[in-house]
Chains A and B, each alone.
Chain A
């Protein structure tokens, strides 16, 4: 599903910062992968490149056999919309839209009719258990609920891959479990998921943990039994 080879990324600035120094990574369809690493190691940078939110300087990126390089903005927007569901640490819901409208928004950019997309949005809210909260605004929702709305929004376009940057980073341990359970359920339905985290409790619920250090992949750890968290079943270390 994802094929990265020799990805380099330098942030230009007063002091150019070489963040990714040659990343090679393979993620197959249906895999549930965690990316771990110290703060500033380049996890978010990598995930943004995967999500076509940012450019890379060197290397090759194939997403579902589509080369992602030098895309026109319009094309990039199209791929973001159709192929990728992105989940942010800070939820990134639009504050003046209610839950249903937030979930429906990606379909708006596909030109889906209002009735159709609101109908679908309700279905996806149902899937994340928030049907009754459809007409609440983000500031009336708890962190966990917001993140579930964000997940519904990521899912509504039926993307090929879900990318989550510290999806539990702003949540307490109980709501973190809710969110992780949701992602695991998606994985079980066959979704390819990449999660950036620095909570090992989260990482150990995935199949494969990619450790990043100083812009390079340090090692890839296969997690044989994702349910066997070192901190016990169904828990997340906080």
Chain B
């Protein structure tokens, strides 16, 4: 077994040997330092970006899809091409019936460019009429109050959920506006909830912070929109593809509205599921790239340590020969070289970790100051990542020490007498 003799002499020898050639030790250490620093920085940065993007999608169902109508592009059953049509409320039932793979099927309708008034305060808004089920497609992440419910729908109540911008403009950010009223186009609506969605976040059909959500039926009556549907929102049941679901729903809509089955333009579709999985792949790719760059840099650092230590061992041939001649075992020599390698690697690596953590923390602080009310995101690596990094460093230190230790072990006591 390797006799482990760590006393002050041992430590003294390690530090002494490293300090004897400061520049060299520093340059060697720098490779490791830079490798781990870059790896962690890139990891933290990548995670921060991912956080940032996914905070934009907060509340959004990743298995969702959206359909809306456009002019037809083919003549069919006596209709000219270029006909305007729109999805209607009865289509919802048709799709629900014909596409069991769809989980949520819910219509929304939009009124654009309205002005909301509260006494002298005003705000440009758009109105979205919806059903309670819509929460399962794009959850408003309420910060106050409640969402639209079935009773609101049934009784065509004049209630609404407002976006954060409206909250700020018509009321004040510090007060809970629930129960208060404001008017749009002469009709008073009572606020029942406030959406938590932030600026720049993803939303279907316009900026969520300036959107007034209200019962579809209320909107239907107030603006006389008949049974028009602007966007038909869908989610796929577990195990089903949004693409299949949309294809079937498209066929249903085309049949009901006498649109040519091959018309590519008439039914427009957005597949959020495909988008999300593309983004997942993108981040997967980025993290593989990060790993490759980081691990590559780190490995070249390790090879650097190993190389320089091999040179050091060569230079120390006489010294090692002397040690062997006065009774050092090969294990003693291996331990001596290994401990130097591990200490150098760990020291360099730990400073790399510390530096990266400090910098990432700085990034967090700056981000939260620049965007004080954005969703909290963090670039910081987790504690367990840091631990894994430290563990990896020790292993790398040992690996780096292998070649020089092997060389040192082969030095014979007679070598003390040669090389004068």
Contacts and interface: CB of A to CB of B under 8 A. Distances in A.
Interface stretch (B123-131, B160-168, B222-230, B320-328): B320-328
A92 B3 CA distance: 25
B3 A111 contact: yes
Nearest to A118: B9
Contacts of B16: 96
A73 B327 contact: no
Q: Which of A77, A95, A101, A114 has the most CB of B within 10 A?
A: A77
A81 B8 CA distance: 21
A90 interface: yes
Contacts of B332: 77, 109
A194 to B, nearest CB: 16
B322 A94 contact: yes
A111 B412 CA distance: 22
A94 B326 CA distance: 12
A153 B323 CA distance: 12
B385 to A, nearest CB: 39
A138 B330 CA distance: 26
A108 B416 contact: no
B414 interface: yes
Contacts, number: 76
Interface string A36-71: 000000001000100101100000000000000000
B50 interface: no
B327 A110 contact: yes
B270 to A, nearest CB: 72
Contact of B327 (A88, A89, A106): A106
A106 B326 CA distance: 6
A153 B7 contact: no
A82 interface: yes
Interface residues of B, number: 26
B319 A78 contact: no
B9 A114 contact: yes
Interface in B3-35: 3, 5, 7-9, 16, 20
B404 interface: no
B413 interface: yes
Given A108-B9, A114-B7, A92 B329 contact: no
A77 B329 contact: yes
A35 to B, nearest CB: 16
A109 B417 contact: no
Contact of A111 (B5, B318, B325, B417): B5
Nearest to B5: A111
B327 A157 contact: yes
A89 B417 CA distance: 9
Given A88-B417, A92-B318, A77 B328 contact: yes
Contacts of A165: 417
B262 interface: no
Interface of chain B: mostly helix, strand, loop or mixed: helix
A198 to B, nearest CB: 16
Contacts of B327: 77-78, 80-82, 106, 109-110, 157
Interface string B381-420: 0000000000000000000000000000000111011001
Interface in B288-340: 318-319, 322-332
A86 B3 contact: no
Interface in B91-115: none
Contacts of B413: 53-54, 80
Contacts of A86: 325-326
B326 A81 contact: yes
B417 A44 contact: yes
Q: Which of A44, A53, A78, A111 has the most CB of B within 10 A?
A: A53
Contacts of A74: 329-331
A118 B413 CA distance: 24
A148 to B, nearest CB: 16
A218 to B, nearest CB: 24
A115 B324 CA distance: 23
Nearest to A89: B417
Nearest to B320: A94
A72 to B, nearest CB: 10
Interface in A136-184: 153, 157, 165
Contact of A53 (B3, B9, B325, B330): B325
A105 interface: yes
A113 interface: yes
Contacts of B323: 94, 105, 109
Given A88-B416, A89-B417, 12 more contacts: A44-B417, A77-B329, A78-B329, A80-B326, A86-B326, A92-B318, A92-B322, A101-B9, A109-B328, A111-B3, A111-B5, A153-B326
15 contacts: A44-B417, A48-B417, A53-B413, A54-B414, A73-B330, A74-B331, A77-B324, A77-B327, A80-B326, A86-B326, A94-B322, A108-B5, A114-B7, A114-B9, A165-B417
Interface of B: 3, 5, 7-9, 16, 20, 318-319, 322-332, 412-414, 416-417, 420
